[in-house]
Structure 1
């Protein structure tokens, strides 16, 4: 065999070896992944509903999960407001998830506490897409609804209106809001928590809310570095000037009420320390706790109605903050709608009988979920003499014929 024949044979052998290698590689190559799973592509074929892939019976059952306290009309109102912010365009690769579906998915996630994956299976949407939809929609809800629904009063007249409601419902004069805070526990990081500080009015609506994006430094206190303290110190809240207490000519300032996690100030009343208090001081504490209970109940409603807060939320703190702020807007929306299904008689604490005996709301059976109590601290020693005198003056008023309650008379 001459040289040319040897070369030709070697080339043929090389080609054969290469072809064999390609064949083996193709056999071993994984099946190409699809852009959208086939069963996800069938989403939306049954109609235009946000849960259109379900049969009609299943659709009605799924809607009841969040329409138990949100009517179809209220759903449409929310959709109309948030639609421009959550509408996405179709692409050549796939159809966009509609704004209706996005809002429906988000409400189901918030109200049921199911995982992104579980919600995705019900809507035939990928888990990662559900996660993105929920966070984007929550962010849009807060951005669109905040200015309208989480309104901190800015004028003296608006604050007086809040105070009148507290006097009417809870018999605490000159109270412009109940100040409270909770730790938002996030399971994404061990022992990680954020502080959620809020002010509630007499009807459980949030007037102010702030969620820290960083882990809370409790050693520095929950109030000292807050926006609320800065606004009070700077006189930016425009609280009304002191006025006469009901049935008297005694002038008294307008104040917030807080618990033992907050300092006693001339604009913030807190209880007498629980150790060895006198009976008349106990009367003051009783009156203050009645007024302050609204913010505790507001957090309780939030945790009970939006079941996501009853689960172990494995999200980064910044993402949990977006969900919490959106839930506050939805809470205020339903408060303004006066939804009895959302806040029914048994859900919140109430008083019954001639003695106004306290009956705890059903929310307490579920607890606060990821909302954890802020560690209590005894009254700060640096309370001003004027603040102490002001609390003593209110105590005297509550123990006097002009200010006492018929069912809770001093003895």
Structure 2
């Protein structure tokens, strides 16, 4: 296009823009009268007056009461429903549900945690020993330990860190349980990919147990031998002086089968505790959809509430396995539908001579001075 024509086109475009601007209606009111009266007639005047009358302030704003917040949170833990579903059920916004469950669970952990999940003292361990001796016929036992994989949604940017050998994402809950089904020590949050020796040895409770800072009572007579206090465990854990596991193998002598039975009988407390935990709080039945911090808070809250309800003897019609072979009904709801799955082996079959000697002495005691009349019928 020649230069002369291009100049004409450019002038035409500029001329049209000027005409369009002139045709655009000019704003005649910049602040509407209704908004100018905000200071005299706005609702903030009523808000200021209501601040001096708590009863009508509450009626006007209808805030979510503490009881409603607690109900939302307990329903969240007990049902495992999504926060969106709870928002519709309780007629509150999803954003409010998210804030509420964090707020309430944080308060539970802050105020109930020191009462119902405190670190045991030497006196507490001694009380546990008395309970295991009288209720479960295992002297010098002060707790039973187990660990579970808690199913979670795959965390962002975590790769395979939380992907376990059972082919789902998880964090690990380690728990030591007393003879009355309450958790005394827990470790929450180890990545599910950790394997042999990883979870327990890296946990605070594992380190405290190894260096003696956990506060176990001093060794005590069992029959005519002085033996250390021990935590009962299964094949997933390593045999140590203060951790007793069963003898491995299927075709064992009668003496070893009796020891395995007596140890298994004492370990029923931790199996029942995890079973009741999952049966009562059904959020444990499926993968928890939350970030890692909230997931740990959820698990900690469930453990604290479990201990609280056990202390109040509130079982909600949940029954436990009995010492004489009774089957607890918690198994009906969690055996095939639980988000809590067993952990894999936490060590090797290698152990120190002293640990082997401790197990041998317990075995001798259960087959001699500590024998009970019905043990041979159970092996």
What TM-score range do you get, normalising by the shorter chain?
Answer: 0.7 to 0.9
1:223-242 matches, within 5 Å, as: 223-242=200-219
Paired with 1:284 and 1:162, the residues of 2 have a C-alpha distance of 20
Paired with 2:82 and 2:228, the residues of 1 have a C-alpha distance of 48
Answer whether contact 1:399 1:409 (CA < 8 A) is retained. Answer: no
Which residue number in structure 2 is paired with residue 141 of structure 1?
Answer: 108
Paired with 2:209 and 2:127, the residues of 1 have a C-alpha distance of 19
| SS of the residue 2:248 aligns to | coil
Which residue number in structure 1 is paired with residue 343 of structure 2?
Answer: 374
1:250-329 matches, within 5 Å, as: 250-329=225-304
Q: CA RMSD in A?
A: 2.7
Which residue number in structure 2 is paired with residue 194 of structure 1?
Answer: 171
Which residue number in structure 1 is paired with residue 12 of structure 2?
Answer: none
1:99 matched to 2:66? The reply is yes
TM-score (norm: length of structure 2): 0.78
Structure 1 alignment gaps of length 5 or more: 1-7, 21-88
Answer whether contact 2:196 2:346 (CA < 8 A) is retained. Answer: no
1:63-74 matches, within 5 Å, as: none
Larger radius of gyration: 2
1:237-248 matches, within 5 Å, as: 237-245=214-222, 248=223
TM-score (norm: length of structure 1): 0.72
| CA shift for structure 1 position 359 | 2.6
Answer whether contact 2:187 2:205 (CA < 8 A) is retained. Answer: no
Which residue number in structure 2 is paired with residue 349 of structure 1?
Answer: 321
Moved over 4 A (4+): 8-13, 213-216
1:393 matched to 2:364? The reply is no
Answer whether contact 2:196 2:345 (CA < 8 A) is retained. Answer: no
Paired with 1:121 and 1:163, the residues of 2 have a C-alpha distance of 49
Answer whether contact 2:259 2:362 (CA < 8 A) is retained. Answer: yes
Answer whether contact 1:176 1:256 (CA < 8 A) is retained. Answer: yes
Higher relative contact order (CA 8 A, sep 6+): 2
Answer whether contact 1:256 1:267 (CA < 8 A) is retained. Answer: yes
1:14 matched to 2:24? The reply is no
| CA shift for structure 1 position 180 | 1.0
| CA shift for structure 1 position 126 | 0.9
Mark the CA change 1:378 to 1:96 in structure 2 (over 3 Å): closer, same or farther: same
Mark the CA change 1:377 to 1:239 in structure 2 (over 3 Å): closer, same or farther: closer
